[in-house]
Amino acid sequence: MKNYLILPALLLFLAFSFSSCSEDNNPDVLGTGEVKIGMGIKLQNSGNPGARLTNAGLKINSGFIQVKEVELETEGVDEAGREFEKELEYRFPEIKKITFDEFDSGVDFFIAIPAGNYEEIEVELDLIDNRNQPSLELNGTFSKQDGSSVPFKFQVFGDDDDDWDFEVELEAEDDDDLFFLDAVNNPLALFQINAEGWFSGVSTSELESAELTDGVLLITKQINGSIFRKVEQRIKDSTEIELKMN
């Protein structure tokens, strides 16, 4: 088995690398077991290729998501050679607000699972609004063509008809193959969000003519809704990733 495997996606990718996860910041640990999968979220550096922005004046430098619970599905073979499938749900003691920027590559929380041979591990983060704050928020600036700039904010509020989540699936390269996880080589799963890439379908002219709210270029479902719907679709197209191990 290789030491690590990184599969980039257009808008969001996960790097699954074998390393020693640090608990210096005492992040939450969900579940029980010898293996601790460290989960972290950061912004992808805007200098990375792939975004192909039509609005080069947009710069996103921070954001957050709020996580209600983590859903975990695993398939593998136990020590006795028996195949197993498990579905678990873990709730944080309180809603977990995870802030991120392009320099933050630390562990935000751990998922603990038993050591063993795995065929597939699927992790889903279920997002939720909390304390009048959105499920997802991005912050930055937009520089206009006349040289001026305005603060930028993108907010996603959930509702009963529109659940938001991020999902990552890790599986063996071939159906008959397994990958072994133990307490020595704890994996780190790093979500790198190319947030500016989410706006690749939005033109500079659309942002230039967008409505300002108290001097802020605010984009929500209700405010500048046509831009929101374009970005919303790009996000939904990017929130499920399949990662192969060999």
CA distances from 16 to 6, 39, 45 (A): 6, 10, 18
Place of tokens 């398939």: 75
> Average pLDDT in the 44-70 region?
75
Return the top range by mean pLDDT from 25-29, 78-82, 130-134, 175-179: 130-134
Res. 24: pLDDT tops 60:
no
Res. 42: pLDDT tops 90:
no
Total-model pTM: 0.81
Res. 138: pLDDT tops 70:
yes
Regarding predicted confidence, which is higher, 44 or 231? 231
Compute the mean pLDDT over every residue in the chain, rounded to the nearest whole number.
Answer: 80
User: Coil, helix or strand for 228?
Assistant: helix
C-beta pairs of 171-176 under 8 Å, 24+ apart in sequence:
171/119, 171/120, 171/121, 171/242, 171/243, 171/244, 171/245, 172/118, 172/119, 172/120, 172/244, 172/245, 172/246, 173/244, 173/245, 173/246, 174/246, 175/119
> Average pLDDT in the 41-66 region?
73
Pairing verdict, β 28-31 and 109-113:
parallel
